[in-house]
Amino acid sequence: MTDVGEAAITALATAMAEAMFAHAGELTDLDQAIGDGDHGLNMKRGFEAVMAELPAIAAKPLPEALKAAGMQLVMKVGGASGPLYGTLFMTLGKEIGPAPDRQELAAALAAAIAAVKARGKSDTGQKTMLDVLAPVQAALAAGASIGEIRAVAGEAADATVPMRATKGRASFLGERSIGHMDPGARSSQLLVEAVCGVLGG
């Protein structure tokens, strides 16, 4: 397999950034309902920083590009989600090779999710981004098609609506967190969809 090159890295980063820009208002509205109303702005700021550095990032081999993008997210997103998404991308960069196949990608995503859990002292079932990332990783590992992975991400984000948050700001609301989609679950869904779109789904 040939390395994931500059054009592919540019396309992936651009698709993820455009998804965050297009849905910033929606993410902020979701966070308004069960958090402090800044998730859309946080993600927009983070991906603006990635786009500002894109020529330098995309010129790197995939592992280094992922680490560099993750650093931008840690530095610029702020909030709880910045270090968590930063950890996700940086760990992917550490675990993945320059030309990953499905199994390598699935293993790297599993390691990245474990790193997010360690950083966030969190697990699935707590109404967070992990409730989308974990089922997507499982689908990827099980050989799901791109269309199936998109569907899994959408269903997983929807499934956070009836959940009661026990991590992050939404947990302060207790029972009142029930009935709203988790903003980080939605942003994870959007990022997964953006990647699927570039990979051909």
Give the interface with ligand ADP as residue ranges (CB under 6 A).
31, 35-36, 38-39, 42, 79-81, 84, 120, 122, 128-130, 167-169, 182-185
Q: Which is nearer to ligand ADP, 46 or 100 (CB)?
A: 46
Task: Give the residue, chosen from 38, 131, 182, 193, that forms a contact with Mg ion under the rule CB under 5 A.
Answer: 38
**Cα-Cα-Cα-Cα dihedral of 79, 84, 90, 91, to 10°?**
170
Contacts of range 100-106, beta carbons closer than 8 Å, 24 or more positions apart: 100/4, 100/62, 101/1, 102/140, 102/143, 103/141, 105/140, 106/137, 106/140, 106/141
Q: Which is nearer to Mg ion, 65 or 133 (CB)?
A: 133
CB-hemisphere CA count at 13 Å for 85? 30
Q: One-letter amino acid identity for 174?
A: G
182 near Mg ion, judged by CB under 5 A: no
The closest alpha carbon to 85, from 20, 129, 21, belongs to: 129
Report what 83 binds from Mg ion, ligand ADP, none; CB cut-off 5-8 Å by kind: none
Task: Give the residue, chosen from 36, 53, 148, 158, that forms a contact with Mg ion under the rule CB under 5 A.
Answer: 36
Task: Give the residue, chosen from 15, 20, 35, 73, that forms a contact with Mg ion under the rule CB under 5 A.
Answer: 35
In this structure, are residues 48 and 75 in contact, taking their beta carbons and an 8 Å threshold?
Answer: no
Report what 128 binds from Mg ion, ligand ADP, none; CB cut-off 5-8 Å by kind: ligand ADP
Q: Which is nearer to ligand ADP, 135 or 184 (CB)?
A: 184
Let me know the angle formed at the C-alpha of 19 by 180 and 93, rounded to the nearest 5 degrees.
100
* Contact positions with Mg ion (CB under 5 A) in 69-108: 79
31 near Mg ion, judged by CB under 5 A: yes
Q: Which is nearer to ligand ADP, 93 or 168 (CB)?
A: 168
Q: Which is nearer to ligand ADP, 49 or 62 (CB)?
A: 49
Residue 37 phi/psi, 5-degree rounding, is 70, 30
